[in-house]
Amino acid sequence: MKSSTWYFLVWCIGFSLITTGLSQLQVVGQKEPIIALLGDDVILPCFLRPSTSAVDQTVEWQRRDLTPKEVHYYSDGRDNPDVHNPVYKGRTRLFEEELKSGNMSLKLTGVKHTDNGFFTCFVPKLVSTVKTSVIQLIVGAVSQPVISVVGPKDYGVVLKCDSGGWFPKPEMTWVDSDGNILPDGSTETETDSEGRYTVRGHVTVQKTDMFTCRVQQQKINHKMETEINVPGGVFPWSRGQKAGLIIGVLALLAVAVLVGLFIWRKQKKEKAELKRMKEQQEDKIEELGIKKAKL
């Protein structure tokens, strides 16, 4: 075999091994959604596996529902912020010192409500069948519920709970001190111009207890609670009891006065009768004395 043929075979085998190794490279991210609260900084993970330098690659982070779609663009060993969507200018960066180990993760600062969606990590020049990884970012917003006492209703008291600035849409429940969910609570939900939710609820309670207004967002697994202690004095029936007690005391006093007056009159009558009888006896004695003197 001629040496030129031998060199050609070696070159073909080497090239085949190299391209096979490169084709086994994959862009990997995270299947589970990334959850963040409004204003947080988050990291959207993206890596080359097996670990290989991405310094000489082109790395594009995209939101394909936006125009332009580029969230962050890295090429020729540097960032190119001029092609970034204006919404993301100054808010994104790669960990350039870690590109050599295949870490192409994106840091996004000051998360906004509009960042809610799907981000694509794309390496277009990669010799691989897996050049992209899609990551979902769920942005949540929460606030502390505020409880107030509206007033009496029938034999109970109406409590009101307000909580605004939530995203996504939350749920509200009322709970007593034993952890029981209260029935018959009415809830209203409205949204503002930015799509954030305000939830408002009322419930009627009929006992003295510690009650909790719980607002929670299942999608971001977050909840906020506020407690209120409802004393017995605010219930209508407690005021009725006080009024009844006062009336009862006044009635007893009236009865006592009448009984005292009756006893006083009776004693006065008995004294007058005793006085009359005594005067009659004295008159008889005096009459007998006069008769004896005449004899």
According to the model, what pLDDT value does residue 14 have?
A: 38
pLDDT per residue as tens digits for the range 171-198: 999 999 999 999 867 899 999 988 889 9
**Last-in-domain residue among 234, 259, 280:** 234
Res 88: pLDDT: 97
Could you identify the residue written with the tokens 């909580």? 163
CA–CA distance, 102 with 187 (Å, rounded to integer): 50
- Report d(CA 146, CA 168) in Å as an integer: 19
Record the pTM.
0.64
Residue 219 sits in the same domain as residue 269: no
**Domain match, 7 and 131 both:** yes
Cα–Cα distance measured from residue 229 to residue 213, given in angstroms and rounded to the nearest whole number: 12
3-state SS, residue 232: helix
**Number of structural domains found in the chain:** 3
Same domain membership, residue 57 and residue 180: no
| Domain region containing 193 | 146-234
Task: State which residues of the chain have pLDDT below 50.
Answer: 1-2, 6-22, 238-245
pLDDT value of position 109:
97
Quote the pLDDT of residue 29: 96
Q: What is the pLDDT of residue 208?
A: 84
Phi-psi region of 77 (alpha: psi -120 to 50; beta: other; left: phi over 0): left
β-bridge mates for residue 79, sequence order: 74
Q: What is the pLDDT of residue 291?
A: 58
Across 255-287, b (16+ Cβ under 10 Å) vs e yields eeeeeeeeeeeeeeeeeeeeeeeeeeeeeeeee
Residue ending a domain, among 188, 206, 234, is: 234
What confidence score (pLDDT) does residue 20 get? Answer: 41
Q: Quickly count helices (H) and strands (E) in the chain.
A: 2, 18
Residues near 56 by Cβ (< 8 Å), separated by ≥ 6?
77
Q: Which of 96, 112, 140 is the last residue of a domain?
A: 140
Question: Do 55 and 158 have their domain in common?
Answer: no
* Residues 20 and 127 placed together within one structural domain of the fold: yes
Q: Are residues 269 and 178 in the same domain?
A: no
Say which CATH number the domain at 218 has.
2.60.40.10
pLDDT at position 128: 86
- pLDDT, tens digit, for every residue of 119-160? 999 999 998 889 999 999 999 999 999 999 988 877 789 999
User: What integer pLDDT is reported at residue 238 of this predicted model?
Assistant: 47
List, in sequence order, every residue forming a beta bridge with 187; answer none if it has no partner: 201
pLDDT at residue 99, rounded to an integer: 97
